[in-house]
């Protein structure tokens, strides 16, 4: 397993999944059912079971948190129109052109970022791995935001059931923390796309130019030996 895959699995899936597991367990208990009690299992089974369920939940919630939770607050940023300059990648491209007016970012389009990043992974894996850490962090923060929100809703249930003001304060804190985490998610996506376009500029000023150059670099050297 590569290092980048390990980083992705741990921070994008496993850690948020453990938070989801905790929040869901608290929700089950808040509505009057008996929550999960892994203490009855052997220590090794507890650890493996919790890690497996957390990892699975992280995967299951990933699409939901992007297509649902993130788009709920950043609808323009998540649009998939190739020429949409209000998307996360479009804003990053606009920011770079304003930040570096002397550099020519050519005909890059917002949706070029996916192919450009794939090209970088082929040509310079070490650089691509460093850039991907930013995207992985964005995914983690997005899931953490939704997990904290779920836990906040659980606290509201407790507040209504127990008439406790303490649960109300905890719920408010969770809602604020969830919103802050989602705002940080947008920032990490912005930084990720900026790094992709900035690195791609080293190879060309358009998607086709970058891809063609990297294809040429990937070709094996011709065999000059004479028969």
Task: Tokens for 186, please give them.
Answer: 């947008």
pLDDT of residue 102 exceeding 50, the answer is yes
223 domain residue, yes or no: no
162 domain residue, yes or no: yes
pLDDT tens-digit map of 18-33: 899 899 888 888 887 7
Q: Which of 84, 138, 72, 86 is nearest to 111 (CA)?
A: 84
149 domain residue, yes or no: yes
pLDDT of residue 1 exceeding 50, the answer is no
> In the prediction, which pLDDT does 225 show?
46
pLDDT tens-digit map of 35-45: 676 666 566 66
- Give the rounded percent of residues in the chain with a pLDDT score beyond 90: 33
116 domain residue, yes or no: yes
Query: Torsion angle, CA of 64/66/69/74, rounded to 10 degrees?
Result: -160
CB atoms within 10 A of CB 73: 14
Q: Which of 192, 184, 60 is nearest to 114 (CA)?
A: 192
224 domain residue, yes or no: no
Label residue 67 by pLDDT band (50, 70, 90): confident
Label residue 226 by pLDDT band (50, 70, 90): very low
What is the extent of the structural domain holding 149? 3-218
Contact criterion met (CB below 8 Å) for 19 and 143: yes
12 domain residue, yes or no: yes
32 domain residue, yes or no: yes
> In the prediction, which pLDDT does 168 show?
94
**For the chain, how long is the longest CA-to-CA vector?**
90
> In the prediction, which pLDDT does 42 show?
61
> In the prediction, which pLDDT does 217 show?
65
How far, in Å, CA of 134 to CA of 136, rounded?
Answer: 5
Q: Tell me what the mean pLDDT of segment 211-216 comes to.
A: 80
225 domain residue, yes or no: no
> In the prediction, which pLDDT does 218 show?
55
The domain total for the chain is 1
């Amino acid at each position: 397993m590569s290092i980048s895959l390990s980083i992705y699995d741990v921070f994008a899936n496993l850690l948020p999944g453990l938070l989801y597991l905790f929040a869901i367990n608290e929700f089950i208990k808040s509505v009057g059912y008996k929550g999960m009690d892994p203490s009855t299992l052997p220590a090794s089974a507890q650890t493996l079971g919790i890690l497996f369920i957390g990892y699975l939940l992280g995967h299951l919630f990933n699409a939901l948190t992007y297509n649902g939770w993130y788009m709920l607050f950043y609808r323009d940023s998540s649009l998939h129109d190739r020429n949409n300059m209000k998307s996360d990648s479009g804003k990053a491209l606009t920011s770079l052109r304003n930040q570096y007016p002397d550099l020519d970012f050519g005909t890059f389009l917002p949706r070029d970022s996916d192919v450009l990043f794939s090209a970088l992974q082929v040509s310079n894996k070490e650089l691509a791995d460093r850039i991907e850490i930013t995207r992985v962090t964005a995914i983690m923060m997005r899931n953490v935001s939704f997990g904290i929100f779920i836990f906040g809703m659980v606290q509201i249930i407790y507040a209504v059931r127990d008439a406790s003001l303490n649960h109300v304060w905890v719920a408010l804190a969770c809602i604020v923390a969830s919103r802050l985490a989602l705002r940080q998610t947008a920032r990490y996506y912005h930084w990720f796309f900026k790094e992709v376009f900035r690195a791609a500029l080293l190879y060309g000023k358009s998607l086709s130019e970058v891809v063609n150059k990297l294809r040429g670099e990937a070709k094996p050297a011709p065999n000059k030996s004479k028969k």
